[in-house]
Amino acid sequence: MSEPKTIAFFPEAAFGPALNSVGIAQACARLGHRAVFLTDPGMGGVYEGYGFKEYKVNMSEPMDPEAMAKYWSDFINGHIPNFKKSPYDQIENYVKECWDAIVDTSIWAQKDLPGVLDEVRPDLVCVDNVVLFPAIKQYSVPWVRIISCSENEIPDPDIPPHLSGCGENDKACFERFDVRFNEVIAPIHQRFNDFLAECGEDPYPLGQFFEASPYLNLLLYPEPVKFKRRNSLDPKLFQYLEGCVRKDEGYTVPHFEANDDKPLLYVSFGSLGSGDTALLKRIIEVVAKLPYRALVNVGDYESEYTETPPNVHIAGWYPQPSVIPQVDAVIHHGGNNSFTECLYFGKPAIIMPYVWDGHDNATRVQETGHGIKMDRYAWTDDDLAHSIGTMLTDQDMQARLSQTSSHMRAQDGPTRAAELLCNLL
């Protein structure tokens, strides 16, 4: 290896992108490089927990970490009524408010980023976000874009628009979603273009908030489920990583008072989706009547679960990459970590999406035969029981998952990413 370099990772302030970057950073460290993290204070401590130095970048009005965590949980919980709406009908509420907040993060970060970059003096910067940070583009070293959400974050006329949940061949859905998205997002987009002009950057076309890196772009989406594009991505600039599963602490499955020898389920709607306690309680009630066991991630709401069935174990957090290999099936929200980890470990999944690219991933898991898409709320007890039974007994699905898992494990996404970054350095 050449002389050790400093690689700075700057993921979005959310656990999905954060932990994907951790997986890549771990691989870079194994190759002898120094990996550090630029982070919003609200994610402070996450990267230090994995042994990486952190540098704080305010991406909103400064507040203490607890207040920041409460802000985002309140933001998500306030939108729970919108989780019942279609992706199209979420454009004018959840999607609009998210993009407004995302633009704010770029504007706020511009205050701190130049100074932080001068302090860190990285040889390479990796950004996992959906918005441009001008200071990184304008810094004097190569920058890499990581796309940890659905690969349709890089658009193409023949694939569904990002966040739309459209089927692969539903062109009418494509057009309808795009027209409404651009209509609603136009004032926010103009505000962002005004900011870009202040930073000396050219404006983006309507609907675009980021660009491909001219150096390298890493897509975590696995090849077996990727879309058929009209315009192929240049492999010199775009590389599929087959996921980036991080190394986490081990996990021992607890003893269950009932059904201790039965199939094991894992249920998680992510750190923010756990606020939808009514849905999680409903799933628990159904599982309580079935011949299964279940591990259920309830996030910060453990105190709201006063009685737990003997075949259910709840916790505020699970080391997911250590849990999924030990279960038989998963029920999740469609976040890209859960999506790719289930494929990596060959586990069938029911995806009940609520926002963002969860809609895209739910549609894709169904289309490619790797799992089942279910409406988040419009199901009966029998519907859920049937879907779980299908996951556990569908031999074609199991064979497809086994093949996809073998393919992804052979690629070793984090190591491949680290090697690509080293080559770029």
Give domain status of residue 253, yes or no: no
- Tokens representing 392 are 């556990």
In a domain, 258, yes or no: no
* CA dist., res. 239 & res. 250, Å (int): 30
In a domain, 252, yes or no: no
pLDDT for 104 beyond 80:
yes
- Is 291 contained in some domain? yes
Q: Which of 74-78, 241-245, 247-251, 378-382 has the highest mean pLDDT?
A: 378-382
Phi, psi of 147 (to 5 degrees): -110, 95
Q: Are 36 and 7 in contact (CB under 8 A)?
A: yes
Helix (H, G, I), strand (E, B) or coil at 122: coil
Least confident range from 147-156, 269-278, 296-305, 364-373: namely 269-278
- The pLDDT of 267-274, averaged and rounded, is 86
Domain shared by 79 and 134, yes or no: yes
Check if the beta carbon of residue 241 is closer than 8 Å to that of residue 294: no
| Residue 305 φ then ψ, to 5° | -110, 85
Is the model's pTM score more than 0.85?
yes
229 and 90 in a common domain? yes
Is residue 251 situated within a structural domain?
Answer: no
- How far is Cα 107 from Cα 116, in angstroms, rounded to an integer? 15
Residue 1: pLDDT over 90: no
Task: For residues 129-158, give the mean pLDDT.
Answer: 95
pLDDT tens, position by position, 274-299 = 889 999 999 999 999 999 999 999 99
Same domain, 360 and 227: no
Dihedral pair phi/psi, residue 389, rounded to 5°: -60, -40
More confident residue, 47 or 75: 47
Residue for token digits 């970490």? 65
Going by C-beta distance under 8 Å and a sequence separation of 6 or more, which residues neighbour residue 361?
150, 334, 335, 336, 339, 351, 353
Distances (CA, A) of 42 to 70, 72, 216, 327: 10, 10, 28, 31
Q: Which two tokens stand for residue 6?
A: 């400093």
Looking at the predicted structure, is the pLDDT value of residue 386 above 70?
yes
**Mean pLDDT score, 318-324:** 94
Is residue 332 domain-shared with residue 378, that is, in the same domain?
A: yes
Residue 147 neighbours by CB under 8 Å, 6+ apart: 128, 153, 154, 217, 218, 219, 220, 221
pLDDT band at 2 (very low <50, low <70, confident <90, very high): low
pLDDT tops 60 at residue 36 = yes
139: domain range? 6-244+411-424
Q: Give how many domains the chain has, as a whole number.
A: 2
Mean pLDDT of all residues in the chain?
93
Q: Which helix (H) or strand (E) holds 388?
A: helix 381-393
Averaged pLDDT for residues 233-246? 89
- Residues 8, 34: Cα–Cα separation, whole Å: 8
User: Do 404 and 417 reside in the same domain of the chain?
Assistant: no
pLDDT at 67 over 90: no
Q: Is residue 250 part of a domain?
A: no
CATH of the domain at 57: 3.40.50.2000
| Cα 223 to Cα 243: distance, rounded to the nearest angstrom | 10
154 assigned to some structural domain: yes
User: What stretches of 289-412 show up as alpha helix (H) in DSSP?
Assistant: 320-323, 336-344, 358-367, 381-393, 395-411
Is residue 337 located within the same domain as residue 418? no
Does residue 400 belong to any structural domain of this protein?
yes
- Burial (CB count within 10 angstroms: exposed 0-12, middle 13-18, buried 19+), residue 343: buried
Distance CA(275)–CA(272), nearest Å, equals 6
| For the chain, percent of residues with pLDDT exceeding 90 | 81
- Is 240 in the same domain as 340? no
Q: Is the pLDDT of residue 32 over 60?
A: yes
Regarding whether 321 and 353 lie in a shared domain, the answer is: yes
Please, which residues bridge with residue 144 across strands?
Answer: 126, 216
| Rg (alpha carbons) of the chain, rounded to whole number | 21
Same domain, 172 and 315: no
Question: Over pLDDT 70: what percentage of the chain?
Answer: 99
CB atoms closer than 10 angstroms to residue 366: 16
Same-domain check for residues 327 and 233: no
Structure confidence at residue 15 (pLDDT): 80
Above 90 in pLDDT, residue 272? no
Residue 368, exposed/middle/buried by CB under 10 A (0-12, 13-18, 19+)? middle
Q: Which pLDDT band holds residue 19 (cuts at 50, 70, 90)? A: confident
What type of residue sits at position 415? T
- The owner of tokens 């989406």 is 221
In angstroms, the CA 390 to CA 146 distance is 34
Do 236 and 341 have their domain in common?
no
Q: For residues 17 and 126, state if they share a domain.
A: yes
CA triple 363-366-368, angle to 5 deg? 105
Residues 7-17: tens digit of each pLDDT: 999 999 888 88
